[in-house]
Chains A and B, each alone.
Chain A
Amino acid sequence: MSWTADEMMSVAAARALRDGTACFVGIGLPSTAANLARRTHAPNLVLIYESGTIGAKPGRLPLSIGDGVLAETAETVVGVPEVFNYWLQPGRIETGFLGAAQIDRFGNINTTVIGPDYQHPKVRLPGAGGAPEIAASCRQVIVIVRQSRRTFVERVDFVTSFGYGSGPGDRERLGLTGRGPVLVITDLGVLEPDPRTRELTLTSLHPGVTVERAREATGWELAVAAEVATTAPPTALELETLRALEAADKVDQ
């Protein structure tokens, strides 16, 4: 079975979610991957959406974080203040799953504005949503984002969600409780923060992708691990499950 780069990305992201843990899910790519995980290796993955739906088990991909299917299938539905204050803030949630419009070499994320002038942005993006506190308070963060020079920039134009700031020690200095971004999963491969420098480092390439291609799609001098793994290709089950999810989504639209 052949597959697309986007499918490989969703599959790789799904695999990163451990069964039985709780995951704070953003809409779009993170939600697709989390729902794929729940249908494959992680049936007991607890999905928490910022609309206050805890333990949602949607039978199809939700179209927004407030989709009715989330409330109908959740273990409990709480108000929005409660989901952030009681559930996210104390560090009860293992994984925060975020997307990005821009990400830099230290895993800082921008979803606010493109351009140097906040008052007069080149592009106005939707803004922070739940991301700043998800990035701060989940025990770990996984980022899923397509890799290109436009997205992978030397410095983000605006820090919406804090990664490792400008390097080692910044999270600790600021008193952030979560570990920060531990994986950045793209359509080309996987990046992980170097344990010493905290700089995002290419540790895995998806089948058929070269280091050169990953470098070309990165807006800084990309660090590459001494040994770069090759991501295991999607299994037939993973692909069929993912395609069924996405097909149901299209019918619904």
Chain B
Amino acid sequence: MAEIVSLPEAVAELVRDGDTIALEGFTHLIPVAAGHEIIRQRRRDLTLVRMTPDIVYDQMIGAGCARKLVFSWGGNPGVGSLHRFRDAIENGWPAPLEIEEHSHAGMANRYVAAASGLPFAVLRGYVGTDLLAHTPTVKPITCPFTGEVLTAVQALQLDAAIVHAQRADRDGNVQLWGITGVQKEAVLAARRSLVTVEEVVDELDLRPDAVVLPSWTVRWVAEVPGGAHPSYAQGYYDRDNAYYRAWDPISRDRDAFTEWLSAHVLDRQGDG
């Protein structure tokens, strides 16, 4: 059964230095507040996993939380580059960042394999690309039935997964809808998990389009209204596009970033 706790309490127990963690969300429902709490608790040497690392991962990388990034597309959607990510890779600031990169199809299947308790997944992918030469978790595999050569990707086992959802009930059953990305797979691929939610309600009304994570599949639930801002929570608030654009000049400059980090993350209390 999921335990309903505050965000700082959940993060303190969930994330340990050196862990492999994913904060998933495909443009929608990105657990930004949880990422900021990880920065405030000064976690280090994390392997950060996400299909689409965007500005919250840029912030975590710039704040020095990450040792390695596992991803398939890293950018500020609709705006441009992630400058803290680029500075880490191109110049090693604030620390060198190891990368392991995939395609979306590969990452999605790696989560599915881990959620399924399998060591790998099979797909038609990566063929002819230079990703094969640089990514050790992708290898060719021969089909035992037809002899066809396909591609295997290693399961993406996580120490911890964090996702954001619209709501949970008081027993910790979680409901999310709209674009749900790989959130279910990420939670099921992780040893420990936290779901931040817009609100905790007495009863979840039935929504046929919703993904439900039953309470017993989640370790902690924290009520964090606005916890996905500047991304959006369908039915609650829209994407703050101005924030994404404003991030570009802040993130280009180390001093501007450091100042921003102090004012907007480090010197603030958790919202939990």
Contacts and interface: CB of A to CB of B under 8 A. Distances in A.
Contacts of B105: 84-85, 88-89, 130, 132-133
Q: In terms of DSSP, what is the predominant structure of the interface of chain A?
A: loop
Contacts of B112: 81
B124 A137 contact: yes
A68 B125 contact: no
Given A64-B27, A129-B72, A70 B130 contact: no
B252 interface: no
A51 B209 CA distance: 15
Interface in B81-126: 81-82, 85-86, 89-90, 101-105, 108-109, 111-112, 123-126
Interface in B8-29: 26-28
Given A79-B180, A170-B128, A131 B239 contact: no
Contacts of A123: 86, 90
Interface residues of A, number: 53
A66 interface: yes
Contacts of B211: 79
A153 interface: no
Interface in B108-150: 108-109, 111-112, 123-131, 134, 148-149
A121 interface: yes
A165 interface: yes
Interface of B is mostly: loop
Given A127-B71, A130-B104, A132-B103, A159 B129 contact: yes
A53 interface: yes
Nearest to B124: A89
Contacts of A220: none
A128 interface: yes
Nearest to B211: A79
Interface stretch (B33-41, B181-189, B258-266): B181-189
A170 B124 CA distance: 16
Contacts of A174: 127-128
Contact of A66 (B27, B125, B184): B27
Interface of B: 26-28, 51-52, 71-75, 77-78, 81-82, 85-86, 89-90, 101-105, 108-109, 111-112, 123-131, 134, 148-149, 178-182, 184-185, 209, 211, 232, 234, 238-239, 241-242, 245
Given A85-B123, A124-B81, 19 more contacts: A27-B78, A52-B26, A52-B180, A63-B78, A63-B241, A68-B238, A77-B209, A80-B51, A80-B182, A85-B105, A127-B71, A127-B75, A128-B101, A128-B104, A130-B73, A132-B125, A133-B123, A136-B127, A162-B128
A195 interface: no
A80 B238 CA distance: 21
Closest A-B pairs by Cβ, 3 of them: A66-B27, A162-B128, A126-B75
A128 B103 contact: yes
Contacts of B181: 51-52, 66, 79-80
7 contacts: A51-B28, A65-B26, A89-B105, A112-B130, A124-B86, A175-B149, A253-B242
Contacts of B51: 80
A67 interface: yes
Interface in A160-206: 160-162, 165, 170-171, 174-177
Contacts of A68: 28, 178-179, 232, 234, 238-239
A99 to B, nearest CB: 12
A161 B105 CA distance: 13
